[in-house]
Structure 1
């Protein structure tokens, strides 16, 4: 039996559809017959339902998964305030421990064929005074998939994020263009520019273009993703 696979999903910014694309990836992996689980290590913005704290993003990931992790493993840090993680953590007297997240990830790998780890916000969101989400990605030692929210400024955001990923010694397994602004001008030209730069500089392929979907449907979004190519890249990176 082959070893379980995993990847770290990051984005060019917040509110660019990172959770939606992560859910689409999960649905794509499930279609391939894989037992797929989601890890959302840090989630800020929780609500109570029947005495249990929930987070909308974490719930969406669970809905797209075929393996449901215990909440304490899936989201070891669930914060109530919908704010930047280090701000929400300070309000609740919580200190993030990356080692705890690494342990949760290790437990997740024993329960699934593939684990999708969704970061929080962009690639360098602060977690503590000295650590950020890039440090988390490094500690997990995972290939990274970059979600690019297609809107004004996305080319610079994509290239800067790719540069930061490479600077940490991580593999950029590929990127996904997500059409968050349906009436964006020159979307194809923007995608072509990012595609050229990321392929030439990081050998990172475009794994799919997700159209603006209303209502949002991870199933339909999965149709646009090159899951086979991503799996090949992940298996190669594992060797």
Structure 2
């Protein structure tokens, strides 16, 4: 894999921190990494966005690129329209990722919200960008009640578009998981048809960057450059 699209099954579920963890693990393995954010919403001109957060956590060796920024915390299409700014289109996202791919071992394309959030008035989405790139999609999911439905729906959307579901990462694993979260560890792969590839500890993004970088490989499976084992995790928490 050289380009991976990172999507969530919703918003505010740890997608940016998961992207940073994958980037940190790749850097620790000696790979060069770029992170592309097609559309940053809800952030002002001088504020730090998701790319800056990934760079802060994973390290300054990450090449970061943001294609567009819209101030209101809305879906990119609506945020662009309300700001009177041009939208980002899937072809632009794919072209930018391909340029980064020429000079990096791994390019992570982090979406905004879920897979089918609209970028433009033609209905272009992150899924369309993934299709143009021929890239697999890594899904970041919440741990608790309700995650099975959104994971299943997103997996169906990927399959309907002929996109590869690389696997799932739990964006924030609680220190004291409830029954639903523990059961979901076994059920998420069943409903999505994809492996569980990691679980980030709750508040991982609040760690000091050095501690984050040290811990990241232990939160991710070998497929993502880490040492985490789904079987061992399930034995502990399932």
TM-score, structure 2 normalization: 0.82
- RMSD over equivalenced CA pairs, Å: 2.2
Deviation at 1:27, TM superposition (A): 0.3
Matched, 1:139 2:129: no
**Number of the residue aligned with 1:42:** 39
Cα distance change on mapping 1:188 and 1:84 into 2, 3 Å: same
Matched, 1:10 2:7: yes
SS for the counterpart of 2:219 is coil
4+ runs deviating over 6 angstroms: none
Residue ranges of structure 2 left out of the alignment (5+ in a row): 227-238
Deviation at 1:126, TM superposition (A): 1.4
Moved more, 79-88 or 59-68: 59-68
CA distance in structure 2 between the partners assigned to 1:46 and 1:119 by the alignment? 15
CA distance in structure 2 between the partners assigned to 1:12 and 1:222 by the alignment? 23
Cα distance change on mapping 1:157 and 1:134 into 2, 3 Å: same
Matched, 1:96 2:88: yes
Could you tell me whether the CA contact under 8 Å between 1:67 and 1:112 is conserved in 2? no
Which structure 2 residues correspond to residues 175-186 of structure 1 after superposition, within 5 A? Answer: 175-179=168-172, 184-186=177-179
Deviation at 1:135, TM superposition (A): 1.7
Out of 195, 209, 219, the residue aligned to residue 205 of structure 1 is 195
CA distance in structure 2 between the partners assigned to 1:195 and 1:25 by the alignment? 20
Matched, 1:20 2:11: no
Could you tell me whether the CA contact under 8 Å between 1:162 and 1:172 is conserved in 2? yes
TM-score, structure 1 normalization: 0.82
**Number of the residue aligned with 2:100:** 108
Matched, 1:158 2:148: no
Could you tell me whether the CA contact under 8 Å between 2:25 and 2:224 is conserved in 1? no
Residue ranges of structure 1 left out of the alignment (5+ in a row): 233-239
Cα distance change on mapping 1:8 and 1:78 into 2, 3 Å: same
